[in-house]
Amino acid sequence: MGVDPVDSALLIVRVTPRAGRNRLERTGDCIHAWVHAAPTDGAANEALIRMLAEALDVPPSRLTIMRGHASRNKAVRVAGMVAADALARIPEGTSR
């Protein structure tokens, strides 16, 4: 049984691979993710999915990278959750 796309959030995520530690931060409607993994063989994408799933309290199978598989800028669909709820679960960032 699939989840209706109407009940899905599309999150815009900027990923920084090879970071010192894994971290998520939100600024408005955009999410910045720092992942320790390198961007080789999909490792950074896998780390991003695991980290987002944990932060959103959903199984990783409900997250799909829709755009940006080989880019730092990604669009990630979260099945079964509206964008406002998803964004509310990501901590607000501090200005740098």
**pLDDT digit string, tens, across residues 39-94:** 999 999 999 999 999 999 999 999 999 999 999 999 999 999 999 999 999 999 87
pTM for the model: 0.89
Provide the token pair at 3: 């989840």
Residues in the chain, how many?
96
Domains of the chain: 5-88 (3.30.1200.10)
Q: Specify the pLDDT at position 93.
A: 84
User: Are 14 and 32 contacting, i.e. CB atoms less than 8 angstroms apart?
Assistant: yes
Nearest to 12 by CA among 94, 71, 96, 80: 71
CB 49 within 8 Å of CB 65: yes
Check pLDDT > 90 for residue 25. yes
